Amino acid sequence: MLAQLTISNFAIVRELEIDFQSGMTVITGETGAGKSIAIDALGLCLGGRAEADMVRTGATRADLCARFALKDTPAALRWLEENQLEEGRECLLRRVISSDGRSRGFINGTAVPLSQLRELGQLLIQIHGQHAHQQLTKPEQQKSLLDSYANEAALAQQMAARYQLWHQSCRDLAHHQQQSQERAARAELLQYQLKELNDFNPQAGEFEQIDEEYKRLANSGQLLTTSQNALALLADGEDVNLQSQLYSAKQLVSELVGMDSKLSGILDMLEEATIQLTEASDELRHYCERLDLDPNRLFELEQRIAKQISLARKHHVSPEALPQLYQSLLEEQQQLDDQADSLETLTLAVNKHHQQALETAQALHQQRQFYAQELGQLITESMHLLSMPHGLFTIDVKFDEHHLSNDGADRVEFKVTTNPGQPLQPIAKVASGGELSRNARARAGMTAR
């Protein structure tokens, strides 16, 4: 609780020290007497915004201190311990404001940023002014207060998760659509390139094969003439050939073996040579018979080789690498086709996640309607206890699917009337500041339960 407030050179106050006791404290006085100065000073101790004109005229700085007893505020004590700012069972918040507008904040004598003053202040005290230091009139705060009272975290977490899925799928779809023009241009180029390659249809290893065949056909005349000459020397020559000479040599050695058996090994070698010579002659003869002298085939090969070389140069690859490039372009075209199909998939995902988010938002809407009626009744009863016997407090919860967000699709509005015969009005339009403060007090009491 707030135990003491000390004010020095602030506004019209030179020096002021207020000691607070447990229970209720009332500060009274005429208009302009300075009742709100104490509240303003306390707000600055809690990290409120400072201005140079807050310093008393003629003074160089204002010095404000608020001392709190921490007996009944364990959350604040834990915060101080976690931030290594604890000092016994009390806490001193201090704010020094210079006449040039600069200010410094202190917690238990240690300089701290204003954000820490505000963070700790929320754990120490609540200020319910007529229109300041409270957010009761803001729609989003009203929704937050209703959800705090309902204390149903599971559905709210599901709502946030499903909204995030929908939001992410929308981003994915938008990104895909942004790239569609670039993909379309690439697809058009691929279509042109592949039309030419599809017509040619290069096959892996083909260039090497047809190049070898072309060389054979291009030299077929010389191959045939030379092969026939070699065959004549081996076996087919009329006057002399190796086969007949080898036969004659074998006959002579055979006679020698009859006289000296040591020569039998030579005879065996001649027999083996005869067999190999016969086989070589047969193979060469078959080669000559199979040798193709087709000029049409030679022309076809020449045209295909020239085309493959031309296409390879066009695509800046070697002729041997053209089939690999062809397959690569085909795969890229398939990927672009798949990405085009993914547009439909992404659209379906957006619709699916949007529907799921709406369903959860509708469930959350029903839950809020239930607790809105309950909380409205409780606050009405509390208003009666706060000298507003004719007070009526209601909470309107309207579903708007076009207002879908991570906390649902509801527009929550607090409405109140304090006098008989008056219609319910949005709480933001309540004229009496005192009534607004009492409404805030009633709401705080109910949501704290």
Distance CA 332, CA 187 (A): 9
pLDDT for residue 128: 66
For each of the domains in the chain, give its residue range(s) and CATH number, in order of start: 1-125 (3.40.50.300), 193-333 (no CATH)
Three-state SS sequence of 53-83: HHECCCCCEEEEEEEEECCCCHHHHHHHHHC
- Least confident range of 50-54, 103-107, 177-181, 256-260: 177-181
Judged against a pLDDT cut of 90, whether residue 248 lies above it is answered with no
pLDDT tier for residue 130 given thresholds of 50, 70 and 90: low
pLDDT tier for residue 132 given thresholds of 50, 70 and 90: very low
Single out the residue of 88, 62, 81, 149 nearest to residue 120, CA to CA. 81
Task: Taking residues 36-52, report their average pLDDT.
Answer: 91
Judged against a pLDDT cut of 90, whether residue 294 lies above it is answered with no
Question: Two tokens at 183?
Answer: 């993909």
At CB < 8 A and 24+ separation, what contacts does 392-399 make? 392/416, 392/417, 392/424, 393/439, 393/442, 394/424, 395/142, 395/146, 396/372, 397/146, 397/365, 397/368, 397/369, 397/372, 399/361, 399/362, 399/365
Residue 19, helix vs strand vs coil: strand
pLDDT tier for residue 129 given thresholds of 50, 70 and 90: low
Instruction: Name every residue whose Cβ is closer than 8 Å to that of residue 232 and which is 6 or more positions away in sequence.
Output: 241
pLDDT for residue 177: 77
Single out the residue of 64, 56, 54, 61 nearest to residue 4, CA to CA. 64
Instruction: Name every residue whose Cβ is closer than 8 Å to that of residue 65 and which is 6 or more positions away in sequence.
Output: 4, 5, 6, 45, 92, 93, 94, 95
Please state whether the predicted TM-score (pTM) of the whole model is above 0.75.
no
Question: Two tokens at 84?
Answer: 């290594």
pLDDT tier for residue 72 given thresholds of 50, 70 and 90: confident
Task: Taking residues 65-86, report their average pLDDT.
Answer: 90
pLDDT tens digits, one per residue of 313-362: 888 889 888 899 888 888 888 877 776 667 788 899 999 999 999 999 99
Element (H, E) at 188: helix 180-200
Judged against a pLDDT cut of 60, whether residue 447 lies above it is answered with no
Judged against a pLDDT cut of 50, whether residue 431 lies above it is answered with no
Distance CA 349, CA 342 (A): 10
* Phi-psi sector, 64: left (phi>0), alpha (psi -120 to 50), beta: beta
Distance CA 131, CA 138 (A): 11
pLDDT for residue 133: 39
- Least confident range of 77-86, 217-226, 338-347: 217-226
